[in-house]
Amino acid sequence: MSVPAALHAALIAPPTLTIALSGGIDSLTLSAAAAEVRGRHAVTLCHAVSPAVPAAATARAQQFARDRDLTLRTIDAGEFADASYRANPVNRCYFCKNNLYGSLSKLGDHVAAGTNLDDLSDFRPGLMAAEEHGVLHPFVAAQMTKDDVRALARKLGLGDLAELPAAPCLASRIETGLRVEPADLAVIDAVEERLRKALGNVTLRCRRMQAGWLIELDAAVHDAMTQSQQGEVLALAKDLIPAHGKIGLRAYKRGSAFVHG
């Protein structure tokens, strides 16, 4: 059996199950595991379409469901109508997830998310919203880390998806305190897509900061570049950045747009 016994038990227990499918590796793997354990007609996938969700993630979720003949619902979670979310406070993620899980709970099923053990060691206000809405965390119940999830993805035949870099929502690229604007999110998504096509499937971020725009690349990739190559990266991004916007380039630093109090 591809699915570990503890995860199998967590996935088979609910009488009904909807997976919150972001399009990232955790929720994709959870969806594949749930389909194997419960059967493809006994699990529903639900993907929230939003300016904060990369277009590639939405396309990935849709292709995944088609390839496996799984039921996929798309919804608007409504976070952009929430003034608290748009203000981008330190706990912005709480308001995002509160809207998402509130919308999913109306579907009537038990809702599960792809949270793994590693996520519990990070500052994730969204987990509070998950608890308030009774969201299940099967990977946590099965004591699975991110590495465990990737290993399971390979066993389940997810191929290259198993190597997807972590990719939080686009709003995480906007510095805390700057209002979340759809236009900025569209720039971020366009820049990252262009750079990913040029550089491959590497960790990268386009950030909207108080001081301007910032491109961050995987440290090993960044440090191996010549000044000329770094200039080429900036040139690729520059014409997508709003006029007169300052733009810089540096090595990736996790959570650098997040201001801690």
Cα distance between residue 78 and residue 44, in whole Å: 20
Beta pairing class for 204-209 and 212-217: antiparallel
**Per-residue pLDDT reduced to its tens digit, 130-183:** 999 999 999 999 999 999 999 999 999 999 999 998 888 999 999 999 999 999
DSSP code of residue 75: E
Report the alpha-carbon distance of residue 252 to residue 256 in Å, rounded.
8
Q: State the DSSP H helix or E strand holding residue 148, giving kind and residue range, or none if neither.
A: helix 146-155
Q: Is the predicted pLDDT of residue 108 greater than 90, yes or no?
A: no
| Domains delineated in the chain | 5-163 (3.40.50.620), 170-251 (3.30.300)
In 3D space, the residue among 42, 146, 169 whose CA is nearest the CA of residue 100 turns out to be 169
Q: Dump pLDDT digits (tens) for 179-203.
A: 999 999 999 999 999 999 999 989 9
Q: Output the pTM of the full model.
A: 0.93
Which residues are paired to 248 by β-bridges? 214
Fill in the DSSP letter of residue 15: S
Check 93, 96, 169, 206 and give the catalytic one.
169
Percent of the chain with pLDDT over 70: 99
Spell out a b/e string for 247-259, using b for 16 or more CB atoms within 10 Å of the CB, else e. bebeebeeeebee
Is 158 in contact with 24 (CB distance < 8 Å)? no
- Quick one: average pLDDT of 229-238? 95
152, two tokens: 């399971």
* The predicted structure's pLDDT at residue 1: 65
Rounded distance between C-alpha atoms, residue 55 and residue 230, angstroms: 26
- In the predicted model, is pLDDT for residue 91 greater than 70? yes
Is residue 96 flagged as an active site residue? no
How much is the average pLDDT of 55-79?
95
